[in-house]
């Protein structure tokens, strides 16, 4: 084996850095630690307010009425081992995803049809615009009468919450596609089908995901209210909305807060799911 000589005039091989995972990058950033500090300060102040109430009988506005975060944590530890609590998650997620997926399946083609066909738009847009401002919750009594089961009426109201938002976003997105893209495609010989599948559809995807993200937020609002109003179907699996409502009836403030935080987490997970899907469906957007 010959000796290795190092030629100093040569440019050194470029160093390759190991690409750090998203999690590694997150915990090494200052922003992450500031965010964590913010949450801790908030919890400490909350705990202090609860302490002032019990020790000095001084009620800090709003916070003073809340149970201490340690009590909430204790209540949370108690409920997370009960299967009933997790069934509430399953019930609510089933309703949210059910309504949401039906809204996507019907809303995306409906919005695209409104965008590309003038006759379709002339006929269906006016009734759509009259129904759209009606708050989904105003549909609750009517849908309880329309649909044979409570479950179906909750999913229907959830569907309405997402449907209108998705349609409006898809319509807006498809109508604002730059005419240059359509002209460029046409002048290169694109057929009507190509224009739709290769230009209008990908051009509308960002709006579809915006609509989905907003729609997902609305479905969580709606499903909880619908569960509270309708009694959430059966007693065993009433969903997270019913969990809060029954905690309120039982007078347990700790459980109400556990329910509220659970919904925050559930909503966050749903949005994260949509963001994740969006990044995969639209790789070109990662460049920005």
Footprint on this chain of another protein (rule: CB under 8 A):
178, 180-181, 183-191, 194, 198-199, 202-203, 205, 282-284, 287-288
Which of 40, 149, 164, 50 has its CA nearest to residue 107?
Answer: 164
Structure tokens at 221: 């609002």
Residue whose CB is less far from another protein, 62 or 193: 193
Distance CA 278, CA 193 (A): 24
CB atoms within 10 A of CB 218: 21
Maximum separation of any 2 CA atoms in the chain, in Å:
89
How far apart are CB 175 and another protein at their closest, in Å? 17
Residue number, 149 or 285, with CB nearest to another protein: 285
Separation CA 32–CA 12 (nearest Å): 36
As measured in angstroms, the least distance from the Cβ of 29 to another protein is 24
Our CB check for another protein shows the closer of 9 and 16 to be 16
**Rounded Cα–Cα distance for residues 57 and 102 (Å):** 52
Q: Which is nearer to another protein, 59 or 197 (CB)?
A: 197
**Least Å from the CB of residue 183 to another protein:** 6
Nearer to another protein, 77 or 184 (CB): 184
> Helix 69-79 to helix 30-56 angle, to the nearest 10 degrees?
100
Report, in Å, the least distance between residue 117 CB and another protein.
21
Residue 181 C-beta: closest distance to another protein, Å: 6
């Amino acid at each position: 084996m010959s000796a290795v000589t190092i030629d100093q005039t040569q440019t050194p091989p470029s160093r390759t850095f190991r690409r750090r995972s998203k999690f590694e990058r997150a915990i090494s950033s200052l922003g992450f630690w500031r965010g964590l500090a913010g949450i801790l300060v908030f919890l400490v102040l909350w705990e202090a307010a609860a302490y002032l109430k019990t020790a000095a009988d001084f009620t800090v506005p709003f916070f003073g009425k809340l149970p201490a975060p340690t009590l909430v944590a204790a209540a949370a530890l108690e409920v997370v081992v009960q299967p009933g609590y997790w069934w509430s998650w399953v019930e609510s997620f089933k309703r949210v995803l059910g309504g949401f997926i039906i809204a996507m399946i019907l809303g995306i083609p409906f919005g695209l049809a409104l965008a590309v066909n003038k006759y379709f738009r002339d006929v269906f847009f006016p009734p759509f615009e009259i129904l759209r401002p009606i708050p989904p919750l105003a549909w609750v009594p009517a849908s309880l009468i329309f649909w044979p089961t409570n479950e179906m009426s909750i999913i229907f109201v959830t569907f309405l919450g997402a449907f209108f938002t998705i349609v409006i976003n898809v319509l807006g997105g498809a109508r604002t596609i730059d005419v240059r893209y359509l002209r460029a495609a046409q002048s290169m010989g694109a057929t009507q089908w190509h224009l739709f599948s290769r230009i209008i559809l990908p051009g509308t995807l960002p709006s579809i995901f915006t609509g989905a993200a907003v729609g997902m937020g609305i479905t969580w609002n709606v499903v909880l209210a619908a569960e509270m109003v309708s009694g959430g179907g059966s007693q065993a699996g009433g969903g997270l909305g019913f969990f809060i409502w029954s905690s309120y009836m039982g007078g347990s403030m700790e459980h109400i807060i556990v329910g509220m935080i659970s919904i925050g987490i559930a909503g966050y997970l749903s949005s994260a799911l949509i963001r994740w899907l969006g990044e995969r469906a639209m790789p070109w957007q990662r460049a920005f």
